[in-house]
Amino acid sequence: MVDANAKPLEQSQDTASLVKRLAGPSVTKAGLAKDQTEINRIIAEVSKGSKFYENEKRKDKELTERIAKILRIKDEVLKEADIRRVEADADRLFVDLEAERDLTQIIVHVDMDAFYANVELLRSPELEGKPFGVGKGVLSTASYEARKYGVRSGMAGFVAKKLCPELILMPIDFQKYSEMSKKVMAIFKQYDPNMIVAGCDEVMHSITKYCNEHNMAPDECVQRMREQVKVETRLTVSAGIAHNKMLAKNKPNGQFHLSSEREAVVAFMRDLPIRKLPGVGRVNERLLESIGSCGDIYEHRAVIWLMDHYFGKTFLFKAHLGIASNVVQPYQREERKSIGAERTFNPIDDQNKILEKLEEVSIELENDMRENGWAGKTVTLKYKLDTYQVFTRAKSFNRWITRKDDMFNTGKELLKPEFPLCLRLIGLRVTKLNDLHASANQGIKRDAMPGFHEHAAEMDEWPPGEGDEYLEGDEENSASRVPKPTSSRNPPIISTRPMDSRIDAEAHMRLQDSEDEDEPALRTQPCPVCAREIDAADNLALNAHIDFCLSKDAIKQATAASSSDVATPSNKKKGKGNKGNALTRTLSDWKKKEEKRPDRTRRGKKK
DNA sequence: GCGGATCAC
DNA sequence: TATGGTGATCCGC
């Protein structure tokens, strides 16, 4: 496994956090090897000296300074605070929050165990018991054997090889996983047609209704669901049962049912590390270092109250109580806010070659937007230097952007003043979207639209995200990814945190519903721009016509005014009573010191 | 509206 | 030999 005699890396306070950072974000997630410290040391060692390492070091230093400043503010605030009084205020909030507890729903979170790896095992049984990973440059997943060595999803292949020299690397086979995912999803859906799909291997259900209708206990229902998947696919599923989404998701392997008794819930939260809370990543974990587990939140309530701006008191108090959203509603297409494409490559400093990459990305994005029926008003360029520093530059228009040339030229315009550059990534993203399909179908149920099924099929091709797995780049799939919204819709239990309903479903499930259903009642549709009747059965023609209309400036303006109401039916305000993700707030004076432009001396990569 | 940062999957 | 891609949100300006 690991060399126990290797000399320890000197552990100054600075390197401790860096070593952990280098180990990657999923280190605290799944159950991993015993001696994570030793593994982290090796990872740091093989990374040392690389540009990647230097960038991580820089970010770690900045973060450390930023946290130090927040802690100084904390000290200041504490000095002049009447702790008793603050605690009394906090206690009142706890009482109010407690009143929101809703124990009536039965929520189930299921995910496939080591999905990619187990699918590979089905076809290659000789891999049984061997350490292997899926993916080439960056691992998408690791077998259980490999995980014992500290190999994780998201890890660079050469680092994984260092940890486990006999590691077998399997090429990624999206089609295989996609087919299997569809089978599994079809089974899951029988238990809740409104389930939230989160990636190809993860689903959130509400089985309240199902259990009532079938007169079935939750455990029995979930047992049956897991058994059905096992029988029909030979894959295993883990499930968490609880009365809200956050509790259901925080489960051990196998099947776990958390009692709906208040005491059981609070006891469960007591030992839950705050890192497990949705929205608490590596950064916020460090910010909240002194808190540790959710059980510690209460005793820190005064500090949290006073530092609400940084810590988010409502969020943390709810976490302590184990209160979270229990609303399970599938993702709606109109919730989408952006669409983009980006590509990583070997560092390039030649301007023309960089522009070629930009053009490729523009083409990808145009295809994706056309195939899925989106236009947008803001174009954002993203680029990553060979030093791994990331920058974005944006430009807004007063017309709808759909075409490759518009995006390419905008990107070029934004990039030009930044030269000279040596880049390892370039990307484009379009926001302020106009849903052309919705416009084309106003007043008509989208599912009933002929011609849109081919898109449904594309979207269905590959569900977005990866569970705890990581995707390797694959341009073939770029057209089929769907976002996961982070807002909740009028939950009966107040969800003050956008994050807590992060797991949500995709439009394709809805579109799938109506497959093979009713014959087209309408043969033509009005163009959303010029209102002319277009052959609705020919979707390509419809889109081509829309593109044509949009290409006329005068009409674009008209559309901008008229269709923005129609195009975003999600103009529904998401009753944001609360201020949202307070944990991500940062120190303003820290930001002021940030470089606003890339450092010219570090950009030009002379060979 | 823009840019940086964080997070999830 | 080579550390990913898509999308969302928040903050401070």
Q: What is the per-residue pLDDT for A441?
A: 66
> Poorest-confidence range of A72-81, A322-331, A491-500, A576-585?
A491-500
Strand C close to A336 by CB, under 7 A: yes
Average pLDDT over residues A11-18: 72
Where does A189-337 show beta strands of DSSP type E?
Answer: 196-197, 202-206, 237-242, 255-257
Say yes or no to pLDDT of A429 above 60. yes
- Report CA dihedral (A509, A511, A515, A519) to the nearest 10 degrees: 160
- Mean predicted lDDT score pLDDT of chain A: 77
In chain A, residues 338 through 377 whose Cβ sits under 7 angstroms from any atom of nucleic acid strand C: 338-344, 346, 364, 368
**Catalytic residue positions of A, numbered:** 202
Q: What is the per-residue pLDDT for A253?
A: 85
Strand B close to A25 by CB, under 7 A: yes
Take residue A415 and report the two structure tokens written for it: 């990039």
For A528-566, write each residue's pLDDT tens digit. Answer: 544 555 554 444 444 444 444 444 333 333 333 333 333
Nearest nucleic acid nucleotide to A63, CA to C1' distance: B5
Phi and psi at residue A58, to the nearest 5°: -60, -45
For A148-175, write each residue's pLDDT tens digit. Answer: 999 999 999 999 999 999 999 999 998 8
Q: Which of A213, A189, A251, A218 is nearest to A105 (CA)?
A: A218
For A307-320, write each residue's pLDDT tens digit. Answer: 999 999 999 999 99
- State the Cα–Cα distance between residues A238 and A184, nearest whole angstrom: 13
Say yes or no to pLDDT of A576 above 80. no
- State the Cα–Cα distance between residues A465 and A197, nearest whole angstrom: 10
Q: In what order do the strands lie in the sheet with A168-170?
A: A141-142, A132-134, A168-170
The CATH class that applies to domain A333-463+506-571 reads: alpha beta
Say yes or no to pLDDT of A512 above 60. no
Q: Which of A177, A131, A165, A150 is nearest to A26 (CA)?
A: A150
- Report CA dihedral (A599, A600, A602, A603) to the nearest 10 degrees: 110
Contact call for residues A363 and A341 (beta carbons, < 8 A): no
For A353-396, write each residue's pLDDT tens digit. Answer: 999 999 999 999 999 999 999 999 999 999 999 999 999 999 99
Contact call for residues A346 and A475 (beta carbons, < 8 A): no
Q: What is the per-residue pLDDT for A469?
A: 44
Q: Which residue has the higher pLDDT, A397 or A536?
A: A397
Contact call for residues A256 and A107 (beta carbons, < 8 A): no
- State the Cα–Cα distance between residues A407 and A378, nearest whole angstrom: 10
Strand B close to A499 by CB, under 7 A: yes
Classify domain A107-131+170-256 by CATH architecture: 2-Layer Sandwich (3.30)
Which residues make beta-bridge pairs with A136?
none
Q: Which of A462, A487, A475, A499 is nearest to A572 (CA)?
A: A487
Residue A230 CB coordination number (10 Å): 12
- State the Cα–Cα distance between residues A259 and A267, nearest whole angstrom: 11
Take residue A261 and report the two structure tokens written for it: 């008794």
In chain A, residues 472 through 501 whose Cβ sits under 7 angstroms from any atom of nucleic acid strand C: 472-473, 475, 478, 481-487, 498
Buried b (16+ CB within 10 A) or exposed e, A291-308: bebbbbbbebbbbbbbbb
Contact call for residues A239 and A108 (beta carbons, < 8 A): yes
Q: What is the per-residue pLDDT for A137?
A: 87
Average pLDDT over residues A53-65: 96
Q: What is the per-residue pLDDT for A35?
A: 80
Residue A124 CB coordination number (10 Å): 13
Contact call for residues A140 and A87 (beta carbons, < 8 A): no
Which residues make beta-bridge pairs with A427?
A342, A382
- State the Cα–Cα distance between residues A307 and A297, nearest whole angstrom: 13
For chain A, give every domain's residue range. Answer: 107-131+170-256, 333-463+506-571
> What would the DSSP string read from start to end of A426-488?
EEEEEEEEEEHHHHHTTTS-GGG-TT-HHHHHHHHHS-SS-TTS-PPP-GGGGGG--------
DSSP conformation class of A597: S
Strand C close to A21 by CB, under 7 A: no
For A275-304, write each residue's pLDDT tens digit. Answer: 999 999 999 999 999 999 999 999 999 999
Take residue A137 and report the two structure tokens written for it: 């440059």
In chain A, residues 501 through 560 whose Cβ sits under 7 angstroms from any atom of nucleic acid strand C: none
CA of A232 to C1' of B4 (A): 47
- Helix (H) or strand (E) segment spanning residue A549: helix A539-550
Contact call for residues A205 and A188 (beta carbons, < 8 A): yes
Say yes or no to pLDDT of A338 above 70. yes
> What would the DSSP string read from start to end of A144-203?
HHHHTTT--TT-BHHHHHHH-TT-EEEPP-HHHHHHHHHHHHHHHHTT-TTPEE-SSSEE
Say yes or no to pLDDT of A482 above 90. no
Say yes or no to pLDDT of A461 above 80. no
- State the Cα–Cα distance between residues A67 and A82, nearest whole angstrom: 24
Q: In what order do the strands lie in the sheet with A338-348?
A: A338-348, A423-435, A374-385, A390-401
**Distance between terminal CA atoms of chain A?**
40
- A33 contact partners, CB below 8 Å, separation of at least 6: A1, A39, A147, A148, A149, A150
